Amino acid sequence: SAVISQKPSRDICQRGTSLTIQCQVDSQVTMMFWYRQQPGQSLTLIATANQGSEATYESGFVIDKFPISRPNLTFSTLTVSNMSPEDSSIYLCSAVTGDTGELFFGEGSRLTVL
């Protein structure tokens, strides 16, 4: 298993600003992902955070809006840039350990954009 810590756990942000969410895993993991859960919706994959290279983004998500870093095997950041109220959501860091396919999640970062 893996313990995933995210910060901040919640924040209230002004329109047009940017916020960086940090994710720390307590063990080396093979894959790290960032998900978003908008109110009343399912978890949607934003991107796969690749160690030492550019993240792989899903359809509808772009690097300029959601820059991601993963400098090593246990740490990643997601920035939500130039925020608008539509970006109000829970952002979840997740990781896969080994090859079982079990995906572990952080507790999430709840962002509210005014």
Partner 1 sequence: DQQVKQNSPSLSVQEGRISILNCDYTNSMFDYFLWYKKYPAEGPTFLISISSIKDKNEDGRFTVFLNKSAKHLSLHIVPSQPGDSAVYFCAASAGTASKLTFGTGTRLQVTL
Q: Does residue 83 touch partner 1 according to CB under 8 A?
A: no
Both structure tokens of 51: 């160690």
> In Å, what is the CA distance from 85 to each residue of 13, 69, 98?
9, 24, 37
Q: Does residue 48 touch partner 1 according to CB under 8 A?
A: yes
Q: Does residue 45 touch partner 1 according to CB under 8 A?
A: yes
**Euclidean distance between CA atoms 95 and 23, whole angstroms:** 10
Q: Does residue 57 touch partner 1 according to CB under 8 A?
A: no
| Residues engaged in binding partner 1 (CB under 8 A) | 4, 6, 30-31, 33, 40-45, 48, 92, 94, 96, 99-108, 110
